[in-house]
Amino acid sequence: MEVLYSETNALVGQVQSNLGILENSRDEAEAQKIIQSINEVLKVIERNCNNLEFYVGKEPPNRRRTAKCKVDQLKYDCQSLSAAASNIHTKLLSRWRAISEREELLTRRFRPNEPTHLTLDDSEIQLNDRLHSSNIAVDELISHGSAVLDQIRSQGFNLRGVRRRIADITQQLGLSSTTLRFIQRRISEDKVVFVVGCIFVLLFMYVFYRYWKNYKII
């Protein structure tokens, strides 16, 4: 058992030396050879550790615990070396990739002021035309709505003027209070119709705008 343990421990030292060589490898081809050699040695170490575990069971009780600790340490070293080799290889690949990309960028030739060509198919052209037509339609709708609101506003001013004139005429004619209340109620109803009309126009413009916006997104 002692001979096998010494051989396995020497293999661990060999892998540690190969890790130092791996870190200084110049290219991926060289690193691949070193990685392959390290993996082969690690397989031998793992196989020896399995044999050592078998021999530990045959050791005398007073030496069995010490022998088991040595074998466990070898197994731990084997796992650590395998992880270290993988990490070193990954870092080297990343470094070489970055160097290759930098060299490619430095050697690339750029042509200033190269013309840019944009190609549009028929569907894109039709979509652009529909969007342009929609914009024109919305502008016309907004203009029409503004005109309607201005007209309603002017009618409201006219109603207030009519109310004042009616009040003056009724005072001159001496109409009864019942007639005046009827006229005032009619004016109030006209005012309600005016407010409802304004709300309806604004609601219609909002609904049409939301519909047009969703259609434009689609």
31: CB partners within 8 A, 6+ apart: 22, 25, 89, 92
56-76 pLDDT tens trace: 888 788 888 888 888 888 888
Nearest Cα neighbor of 179 from 170, 190, 189, 192 is: 170
Q: Which two tokens stand for residue 166?
A: 């009616």
pLDDT value, residue 95: 84
Q: Where do the structural domains in the chain lie, given as residue ranges? A: 2-107, 122-217
Nearest Cα neighbor of 201 from 155, 149, 154, 160 is: 149
| Euclidean distance between CA atoms 186 and 105, whole angstroms | 83
- Mean pLDDT score across all residues of the chain: 76
pTM above 0.95, yes or no: no
pLDDT value, residue 119: 52
Does the 2-107 domain belong in CATH 3.30.750.24?
no
pLDDT value, residue 40: 92
pLDDT value, residue 172: 58
154-174 pLDDT tens trace: 666 556 665 666 666 656 555
Low-confidence ranges of the chain (pLDDT < 70): 108-128, 134, 144-146, 148, 150-180, 213-218
